[in-house]
Amino acid sequence: MNQNKWVNEAIFYHIYPLGFTGAPRINEGTGTTGSRILKVLDWIPYLNELGINAIYFGPVFESETHGYDTSDYYQTDRRLGTKEEFKQVFDTLHNHGIRVVLDGVFNHVGRSFMPFQDVRRNREGSVYKDWFCGIDFHQYGPAGDGFSYETWQGNAELVKLNLRNQQVVEYLLGAVAMWIDELGIDGLRLDAADCVEMEYFRKLRAFTHAKRQDFWLMGEIIHGDYNVWANNTALDSVTNYECWKGIYSSHNDKNYFEIAYALKRQFGEHGIYKDLYLYNFADNHDVSRVASLLTRKEHLENVYTLLFTMPGVPSLYYGSEWGIEGMKASGMNADIPLRPCIELTDAAEGDTGLLEHIRELAAVRKSSDALKYGNYQEVLVRNEQLIFARETDSDRRLIVLNLSDKASQLQFTYAGKTYDVEAAAFSSEIFY
């Protein structure tokens, strides 16, 4: 479905900037102002060497705490830097061949969002009372405002926007225009996309594609039929949570049938998402690091071989290429272990073998039309071994994975040719 060639050839690096830069957890105004986003500039040579050509930045709009409680869509989060500093970073990234995608948090806002503050002050007399869903001035809400309103998943600090209100739509599209025109962003990842009005996505698509035909829209979808959101009228892509789960649990359960089933279901000859270019990942800012999810660290290289060779666009979550760990906790601070501040010097303390493996995978992917554009075909599946092919008219790759702690002799036939391969323990190989 995606018509943007740059996405098909992208290798994403996902940065949660408030954590990555070590920004204060609470925005306290001038007392927490900083130029922390400039840290990204120091990472550009490393990212180029790693093979990264696109970055997805988590929330950067002015917000109260974690970034998903926006207070001003037209301003950068003061904890990270000024709009001019962001432009410096984005321009430099572009000059080094790296595209920029931002988090678009349009389903809900923080309570300090100016229109919501106006409703708190003026109640029924506020010109913004229809900007939010479910406002009821006759019912008390949990935040002590003297009225109730719809939230995101019961979180009182996240107030749901009324995206059926044309004034709200125009306000948000104006912010998107600013980020495109002034800062040159290349796309948006739409937060909580399953909660957003589909008509809003249609308007957003028409608006952004009128500005730039290659502008990319990707939605956060955890459950459901991805075709509902990713199609010719709404978004270009969505997050592939189905394969995220299969990638790690198939290794933990010594059951490659799980991920093989998902890949064939999605991308095989009759795959339901065969025409989509989904956003693939091994971990992100909302789930435990894959190095913590895996029962055996020896499976990390196979995990990333899968990520870089399966159909769709691969994304690395910052620091996971070194094998850093982080388990999602519970309660208000559940995500803090997933969003640490890290430094380039930390790489030497991590899994340098994994880092080199990922660097090699990125190089192979970039050189192979089959891995970027090719059809998917299952070749062989066993509990501990998986072989599949990616193929175009001019290029073919066979991917052989062995999750066992023992070597395995594999005989198979593909495209009229017979293969006899010895797959080492905990290994993956890509054959021409």
Render pLDDT for 86-106 as a digit per residue (tens, 0 to 9).
999 999 999 999 999 999 999
CA atoms within 13 A on the CB side of 183: 27
Helices 241-252 and 256-267 pack at an angle, to 10 degrees, of: 160
Domains in the chain, number: 2
- Residue 259 lies inside a defined structural domain of this protein: yes
- Residue 387 lies inside a defined structural domain of this protein: no
Residues 143 and 220 in one domain: no
Residues 45 and 121 in one domain: no
Residues 44 and 160 in one domain: yes
pTM greater than 0.75: yes
Residues 138 and 276 in one domain: no
Q: Three-state secondary structure along 308-343?
A: HHCCCEEEEECCHHHCCCCCCCCCCCCCHHHCCCCC
Residues 107 and 170 in one domain: yes
CA distances, 244 to each of 7, 103, 240 (Å): 19, 20, 6
Rounded CA-CA distance 365/372 in Å is 7
Rounded CA-CA distance 314/321 in Å is 12
- Residue 393 lies inside a defined structural domain of this protein: no
- Residue 123 lies inside a defined structural domain of this protein: yes
pLDDT tens for each residue of the chain, 432 residues long: 445 789 999 999 999 999 999 999 999 999 999 999 999 999 999 999 999 999 999 999 999 999 999 999 999 999 999 999 999 999 999 999 999 999 999 999 999 999 999 999 999 999 999 999 999 999 999 899 999 999 999 999 999 999 999 999 999 999 999 999 999 999 999 999 999 999 999 999 999 999 999 999 999 999 999 999 999 999 999 999 999 999 999 999 999 999 999 999 999 999 999 999 999 999 999 999 999 999 999 999 999 999 999 999 999 999 999 999 999 999 889 999 999 999 999 999 999 999 999 999 999 999 999 999 999 999 999 999 999 999 999 999 999 999 999 999 999 999 999 999 999 999 999 998
Residue type, 90: F
Structure tokens at 47: 């990212």
Residues 260 and 223 in one domain: yes
Rounded CA-CA distance 256/302 in Å is 11
- Residue 135 lies inside a defined structural domain of this protein: yes
Give the domain extent around 102.
5-112+153-373
Residues 164 and 312 in one domain: yes
β-pair type (427-431, 396-402): antiparallel
Rounded CA-CA distance 143/85 in Å is 35
Residues 141 and 57 in one domain: no
- Residue 384 lies inside a defined structural domain of this protein: no
- Residue 97 lies inside a defined structural domain of this protein: yes
* pLDDT per position as a tens digit, 150-184: 999 999 999 999 999 999 999 999 999 999 999 99
Which residues make beta-bridge pairs with 238?
A: 219
Of 373, 397, 424, at which residue does a domain stop? 373
Structure tokens at 414: 């593909």
Residues 184 and 122 in one domain: no
- Residue 418 lies inside a defined structural domain of this protein: no
Rounded CA-CA distance 27/326 in Å is 24
β-pair type (417-423, 408-414): antiparallel
Residues 212 and 275 in one domain: yes
* CATH number of the domain where residue 339 is located: 3.20.20.80
Residues 133 and 207 in one domain: no
Residue type, 120: R
Residue with token string 């739409």: 190
* pLDDT per position as a tens digit, 1-50: 445 789 999 999 999 999 999 999 999 999 999 999 999 999 999 999 99
CA distances, 315 to each of 14, 121, 239, 244 (Å): 7, 44, 10, 11
Q: Average pLDDT of the chain?
A: 97
Residues 188 and 129 in one domain: no
